[in-house]
């Protein structure tokens, strides 16, 4: 199949169908043939875009132009103008608020893409990470100066709450509220921690921020410390990130020399000391309480919660733990205000999100786009479509602990609320795009193998459950499964979620739950017909049970 | 370096750095930027960087500023090298190995002709 140069989507939600969307679709199909464009332009239906105001509507990619309401009689004109002559048919354009945000690498096309704002990655790949001067030229340390010379800690927290920023580590907890919890706890000593133990497979957004713009995190942590009343901070960084670590240490040294760290910063009487603590490669140390144990020099095992780190964290003191990407949003919000931040993304999930794109697509890499963009848009525009013209089967979001999203959900806006509504998790921002050659049993097996290896072993459901689930999936993939296995898998997935001590075990069951929800027939085919529809699993009939 | 104690101090440092940059631009210096994130280095950015520096030394080029930067998000095209000629738009090259870097240094940085094959466009 040829790679299509353009993509036309016709709305097909009930409201649009009621208003004649089907006839519009038919007419498009005819007109594309008439103009001999069928080979170059793909045509499909789309639903749930929350644009019922202009139904039936048509979206044309890669420009992401929205036309609506469109009647069958408009179609000839649209095809001729936009697809044949390449001009946007402004007469039929729907009134639309364009998404803002910017693909990281497409400076040449800014203005024509639906996304053109970088917040978190504003400087990464632009400045020299080893030069504090470069950072200062690009608005660096302005936010810290503004905070320390004219804002109270309450002002800072209030501003963050107004901005609606949510934690970008995966759980999406409102950042301002978290800061307020720590600020509101009385204690002589408090800590702030930046969680840079980015170990979700396939996620490397934090590494890019730390390597490309280390000062932004130092600035953000200093602001956070001031807001919550801490004077010491730890940057817990994944052990494998040697380059990021080296750049951070250098940046900290520079910041100290210029007085952005240390004592009496900006003559405000506020002191802040920042340490870098390297992890040793355990996935579980990305869990905040295990991370705290690790800094304390103990084995990286999660603590029972409550009490939460906000009251009893590092060395039993109130501790703020934030993800790198979350912190990277803080200085821009302080510089530009809450209203500015809210102009990106959706009303309930403002701002942008950094995604790493991997898998069977034409272009892999990293993008920063507004919240609320859809998976289809990410694949079509930024990943330049599926590789070799194959079809999307599923996407896995957020590394191992995320969700498996079937192709039919690809038009769901990617923001915290819409994803929660659809029963899927945003995760940390990894997008693994899989085509029809992917076997779901095999995928779940790979993920469970990861979890059984990374389980710290402290609590039984996780230690035993992951091992058992992996064995069952292995049996199924070898053609040795029975229908009882499906019940067993369902039970394990439920128990993992309900009884595990920390996030690792609680999310370990989600791949199982997802494949049984969305791809049950395929799992059953492995068991009943003893065949793997995607042709991936060995189905050797040999028991390969290993521990 | 004196510690910064006020917003004014910060502004002064910023202005000084900007002035220095401006001077660089008006004096016609050329800028070569090599992406040196983990992805770039893994794809061979160190060899690219070395090739750039070797070329400058071997040909006694003046007025060329070589800097590094982080990943710009297009890991697939690494090693990435950017060239800014005075008064012109930044040109971004992808898959720049040592040989290509040499070619870019010669044809683009020295002679002012963009090397078409490796320019990243969409």
**Interface residues from chain B to A (CB-CB < 8 Å):** 1, 3-7, 10, 13-14, 17-18, 21, 35, 37-39, 41, 67-77, 90, 92, 120-122
| Domain A132-339, second-level architecture | 3-Layer(aba) Sandwich (3.40)
- The answer to whether A398 touches A286, Cβ cutoff 8 Å, is no
CA A56 – CA A65 distance, rounded (Å)? 14
The nearest CA of chain B is from the CA of A364 a distance in Å of: 6
Residue A50: per-residue pLDDT: 58
Residues constituting chain B: 122
pLDDT in tens, B13-37: 888 888 887 776 667 788 899 999 8
CA angle B13, B15, B17 (to 5 degrees): 70
Q: Please list every residue in chain A whose beta carbon sits closer than 8 Å to the beta carbon of residue B13.
A: 133, 136, 258
Non-local (6+) Cβ contacts of A341 within 8 A are A119, A163, A164, A165, A329, A332, A333, A350, A351
- Beta partners for B34? B68, B81
List alpha helices for A229-371, DSSP H: 242-257, 288-295, 324-336, 338-342
ipTM of the complex: 0.76
Full-model pTM: 0.79
Using an 8 Å Cβ cutoff, are A536 and A525 in contact? no
Return the pLDDT at A111: 35
The confidence score (pLDDT) of residue A513 equals 93
Q: Token pair of A121, please?
A: 């990655």
The domains of chain A are located at 6-92, 132-339, 352-435, 440-528
Instruction: Answer yes or no: are the C-beta atoms of A79 and A37 closer than 8 Å.
Output: yes
Q: Which residue of B has its CA nearest to A62?
A: B122
- pLDDT, residue A1, reads 44
Q: Please report the pLDDT score of residue A229 as a whole number.
A: 95
Q: Which CATH architecture has domain A440-528?
A: Up-down Bundle (1.20)
> What residues contact A24, with CB distance under 8 A and at least 6 apart?
A10, A56, A58, A70, A71, A72, A75
Interaxial angle between packed helices A510-518 and A440-454, expressed in degrees from 0 to 180 and rounded to the nearest 10: 170
> For residue A348, what pLDDT is reported?
87
Buried b (16+ CB within 10 A) or exposed e, B37-58: bbbbbebbbebbbebbbebbee
Could you check whether A6-92 and A132-339 share the same CATH topology? no
CA–CA dist A522, A266 (Å, integer): 62
pLDDT for A49 equals: 57
Domain ranges of chain B: 28-118
In degrees rounded to 5, what are phi and psi of residue A10? -110, 135
- CATH code of the region A352-435: 3.10.20.600
Does B71 contact A208 at a Cβ distance shorter than 8 Å?
yes
Dmax (CA) for chain A in angstroms is 76
B32 closest CA partner among B57, B78, B68, B72: B68
A-chain residues near B41 (CB < 8 A)? 243
User: To which CATH superfamily is domain B28-118 assigned?
Assistant: Glutaredoxin (3.40.30.10)
pLDDT of residue A544: 63
pLDDT along chain A (547 residues), means of 10: 72 82 91 86 72 79 79 90 83 62 33 55 84 90 94 96 90 91 94 93 88 94 96 94 92 94 94 94 91 94 91 95 95 94 87 90 86 86 86 88 88 86 83 93 93 93 95 93 94 94 91 93 94 88 63
pLDDT at A69 (0 to 100): 86
φ and ψ at A281, to 5 degrees?
A: 95, 15
The CA-based angle A463-A469-A474, given to 5 degrees, is: 130
- Tell me the residue length of chain A: 547
pLDDT of residue A52: 67
CB A59 within 8 A of CB A25: no
| CATH number of this structure's domain A6-92 | 3.40.30.10
Q: Which helix (H) or strand (E) holds A524?
A: helix A520-528
Scanning the structure block, which residue is given the tokens 């990435």? B80
CA distance readout (Å), B41 to A288, A369, A538, B70, B80: 30, 26, 37, 10, 10
| Residues in A touching B120 (Cβ below 8 Å) | 105
Q: Which pLDDT value is given to residue A371?
A: 86
Partners of A392 in beta bridges: A435
d(CA A512, CA A500): 16
Cα four-point dihedral sign A102, A105, A110, A114 = negative
Q: Is the dihedral of CA A146, A149, A153, A159 positive or negative?
A: negative
CB A527 within 8 A of CB A475: no
pLDDT over 50 (residue B100): yes
- What is the per-residue burial (b if ≥16 Cβ within 10 Å, else e) of A162-184? ebbbbbbbbebebbbebbbbbbe
Interface mutation target, options B14, B31, B73, B79, chain A, most CBs of A under 10 Å: B73
CB contact under 8 A, B122 and A108: yes
């Amino acid at each position: 199949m040829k790679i299509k140069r353009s993509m036309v989507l016709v709305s097909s939600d009930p409201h649009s169908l009621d208003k004649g969307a089907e006839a519009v679709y038919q007419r498009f199909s005819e007109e594309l043939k008439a103009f001999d464009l069928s080979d170059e332009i793909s045509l499909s239906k789309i639903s749930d875009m929350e644009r019922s105001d202009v139904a039936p509507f048509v979206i044309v990619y890669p420009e992401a132009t929205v036309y609506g309401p469109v009647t069958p009689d408009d179609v000839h004109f649209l095809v001729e103008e936009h697809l044949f002559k390449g001009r946007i048919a402004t007469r039929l354009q729907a009134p639309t608020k364009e998404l803002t945000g910017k693909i990281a690498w497409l400076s040449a096309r800014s203005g024509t893409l639906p996304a053109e704002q970088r917040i978190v990655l504003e400087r990464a790949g632009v400045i020299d990470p080893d030069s504090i001067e470069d950072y200062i030229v690009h608005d660096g340390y302005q936010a810290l100066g503004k905070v320390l010379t004219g804002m109270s800690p309450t002002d800072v927290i209030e501003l963050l709450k107004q901005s609606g920023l949510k934690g970008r580590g995966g759980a999406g907890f409102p950042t301002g509220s978290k800061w307020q919890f720590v600020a509101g706890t009385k204690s002589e000593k408090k800590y702030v921690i930046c969680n840079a133990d980015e170990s979700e497979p396939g996620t490397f957004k934090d590494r890019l921020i730390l390597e490309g713009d280390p000062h932004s995190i130092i600035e953000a942590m200093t602001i956070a410390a001031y807001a919550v009343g801490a004077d010491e901070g730890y940057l817990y960084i994944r052990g494998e990130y040697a380059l990021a670590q080296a750049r951070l240490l250098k940046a900290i040294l520079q910041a100290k020399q210029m007085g952005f760290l240390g004592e009496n910063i900006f003559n405000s009487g506020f002191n802040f000391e920042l340490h870098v603590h390297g992890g040793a490669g355990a996935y579980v140390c990305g869990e905040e309480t295990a991370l705290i144990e690790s800094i304390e020099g103990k084995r990286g095992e999660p603590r029972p919660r409550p009490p939460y780190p906000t009251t009893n964290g590092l060395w039993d003191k109130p501790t703020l733990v934030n993800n790198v990407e979350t912190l990277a949003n803080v200085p821009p919000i302080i510089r530009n205000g809450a209203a500015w931040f809210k102009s990106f993304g959706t009303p309930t999930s403002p701002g942008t999100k950094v995604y790493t794109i991997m898998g069977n697509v034409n272009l892999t890499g990293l993008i920063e786009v507004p919240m609320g963009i859809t998976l289809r848009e990410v694949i079509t525009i930024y990943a330049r479509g599926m590789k070799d013209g194959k079809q999307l089967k599923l996407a896995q979001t957020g590394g191992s602990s995320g969700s498996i999203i079937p192709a039919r959900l690809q038009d769901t806006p990617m923001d915290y609320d819409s994803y929660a509504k659809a029963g899927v998790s945003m995760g940390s921002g990894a997008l693994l795009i899989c085509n029809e050659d992917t076997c779901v049993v095999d995928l779940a097996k790979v993920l469970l193998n990861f979890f059984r290896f990374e389980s710290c072993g402290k609590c039984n459901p996780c230690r035993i459950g992951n091992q058992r689930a992996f064995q069952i999936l292995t049996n199924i993939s070898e053609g040795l499964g029975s229908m009882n296995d499906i019940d067993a898998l369902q039970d394990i997935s439920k128990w993992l979620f309900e009884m595990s001590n920390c996030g690792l075990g609680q999310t370990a069951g989600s791949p199982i739950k997802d494949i049984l929800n969305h791809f049950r027939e395929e799992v059953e085919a492995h068991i009943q017909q003893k065949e793997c529809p995607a042709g991936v699993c060995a189905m050797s009939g040999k028991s390969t049970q290993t521990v | 370096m004196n510690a910064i104690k006020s917003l004014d101090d910060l502004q002064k440092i910023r202005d000084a750095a900007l002035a220095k940059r401006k001077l660089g631009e008006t004096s016609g210096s050329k800028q070569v930027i090599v992406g040196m994130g983990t992805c770039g280095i893994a794809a061979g950015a160190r060899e690219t960087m070395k090739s750039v520096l070797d070329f400058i030394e071997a040909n006694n080029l003046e007025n060329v500023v070589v800097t590094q930067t982080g990943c710009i998000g297009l890991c697939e095209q690494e090693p990435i090298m950017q060239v800014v000629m005075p008064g012109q738009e930044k040109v971004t090259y992808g898959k720049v190995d040592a040989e290509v870097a040499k070619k870019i240094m010669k044809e683009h940085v020295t002679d002012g002709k963009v090397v078409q094959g490796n320019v990243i466009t969409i």
